[in-house]
Structure formats: C-alpha cells, structure tokens
Homo-oligomer: A and B are copies of this chain.
Amino acid sequence: MASKKISMAVIKRLPRYHRYLNYLLELGIKRVSSKELSGRMGITASQIRQDLNCFGGFGQQGYGYNVESLYNEIGNILGINKTFYCIIIGAGNMGQALSNYENFVKRGFKVIGIFDVNPEVIGKKLKNFEVMNLDLLEEFILHNPVDIAMLCVPYRETATVADRVARLGVKGLWNFSPMDLKIPYDVIVENVHLSDSLMVLGYKLNDKFERE
C-alpha cells in the first residue's frame, strides 16, 4: 500500500477527494469518471487522473473509478482507519467548538481531554467532557495515549504550551493561534489561521467589487 512516495501537494488534495467520494457513496453512486469528478470538484480531469495515478491505476478506460474502492484506498493512505487520540488545550470558544465536532470522530480523530488554566472554566461540563486543570496535563499524558494536541490558547502562550506538550512526547500539534509555530523538537505542526482565510476573502471582495 502506498509504497511510492506521494507528493505533499497531492496529499493535501486527498481529503477533498475523500469528501466527494463519501458524498457519491451516500448517493449510492458506484462509479465515476475523472470528467464527472472534475465537474463536481473544479479540478481538471487530467489533474485528477494524474493525482489518482500516484497510488495505483484505479481508473479503467471507459469505466472510470470504482467509488468505493477509491474511497477506501484514499482513506488508507490518509490513515483514517487508525485512531488518533487528541487533547485540546484551551477551552475557550474555539476549543469547545472542536471538542464536539462530529466530523473529526468519523475521520478517526478522537478527543479524549480538554484543559484550561482559567478557574472559571475548569470543571465546566461540556458535551463529552469536563474541562481539566492544565496542571494535570503531565499526569494525563502519562496515563493516556495522546497523538495530537489541538492548541487553542492565546497568542502569547502558544509557544510555551507547545513546548510543554512536545516535551511530553506528543508528536502532532494542530495550532489555532495566529502565529506560526516552530518547535525545536521532532514534532509535526499544522497551523490553522482562520484570519488569513478571511483576509483573502476580503481581498477578493475588494478586488472584484471595488467597494468604496
């Protein structure tokens, strides 16, 4: 499985293919051509064929792709048949939103704890958890498998918190603070900068509609 090295550009498109194929599966559609996928996804058919060729030729001339096997194979490559255990640091609005995002569970990301430093929030009952005191972090990680820490803490505390979880052996950081994280450990960081996306939208609006 996936013995060939797949480029990161392709990897970044795979979750999107996965979503579309899931949608087709739910509609009961059994096969799909690169042209049909292209129409739905706004990616050229040749790009799609090239992407999907990276991990074995599922497509057959005149038949297209088998939706279910392509869906499963992309899921395998993305590792969603595995479970990633996640904790959330920071139980503000964003942390609470992430703590019961059902889509994550479906994709194998299971949140097992949420932490904060604010006495007014610690002990608060969320849908699935009670917010824990961040002082308990070391003990929690010692007794539970934690693959990913989702960081929803204020900007100025992000680096310190990231350092602390990385030292405890957490290998994946999903960072929602506005600053890109760089860590001197063997850790993988994905930054989510919501404001950046919003600013690009603002730029496009200005550019297209030339508001006064």
Chain A residues close to B by CB (< 8 Å): 11-12, 14-16, 18-19, 23, 41-42, 77-80, 82, 84, 92-94, 96-101, 103-104, 107-109, 147-148, 171-172, 174, 178-180, 182, 188, 190, 192-206, 208-209, 211
Contacts and interface: CB of A to CB of B under 8 A. Distances in A.
Contacts of A98: 194
A206 to B, nearest CB: 4
A107 B41 contact: no
Nearest to A174: B201
B41 A200 contact: no
Given A79-B206, A194-B101, A107 B199 contact: yes
A196 B206 CA distance: 28
Number of copies: 2
B148 A205 contact: yes
B100 A199 contact: no
A192 B202 contact: no
A41 B180 contact: yes
A78 to B, nearest CB: 5
29 contacts: A12-B200, A14-B199, A15-B193, A15-B199, A16-B193, A16-B196, A78-B199, A79-B203, A82-B206, A84-B202, A93-B96, A93-B99, A93-B101, A98-B194, A101-B195, A103-B178, A103-B194, A103-B195, A104-B198, A107-B198, A107-B199, A108-B202, A109-B198, A147-B205, A148-B202, A172-B204, A172-B205, A174-B201, A190-B204
